Amino acid sequence: MFNWLKTSILMAAIMALFGVIGAMIGGKSGMLLALLFGGGMNFFSYWFSDKLVLRMYNAQQVDESTSPYLYNIVRDLAARAQLPMPRVYIINEPQPNAFATGRNPQHAAVAATTGILQLLSERELRGVMAHELAHVRHRDILISTIAATAAGAISALANFAMFFGGRDSEGRPTNPLAGILVALLAPIAAALIQMAISRTREFEADHGGAEISGDPRALADALAKIHHYATGIPMEAAEAHPETAQMMIMNPLSGRGMAGWFSTHPSTEERIARLHALARGR
Query: In b/e form, how buried is each residue of 199-208, taking b as 16+ CB within 10 angstroms?
Result: eebbeebbbb
* Catalytic residue status for 132: yes
124, 132, 202, 243: the active-site residue: 132
Give one DSSP letter per residue of 16-42, joined into a string. Answer: HHHHHHHHHHHHHHHHHHHHHHHHHHH
Rg (CA), the chain: 20
Torsion of CA 116, 120, 124, 126, to 10 degrees: 50
Within a 10 A sphere around the Cβ of 192, how many other Cβ atoms?
A: 12
Q: Could you tell me which residues are beta bridge partners of residue 100?
A: 110
Strand, helix or coil at 88? strand
Q: What share of the chain is helix, strand, coil (3-state, %, to 5)?
A: 70, 10, 20
Q: Which residues are catalytic?
A: 132
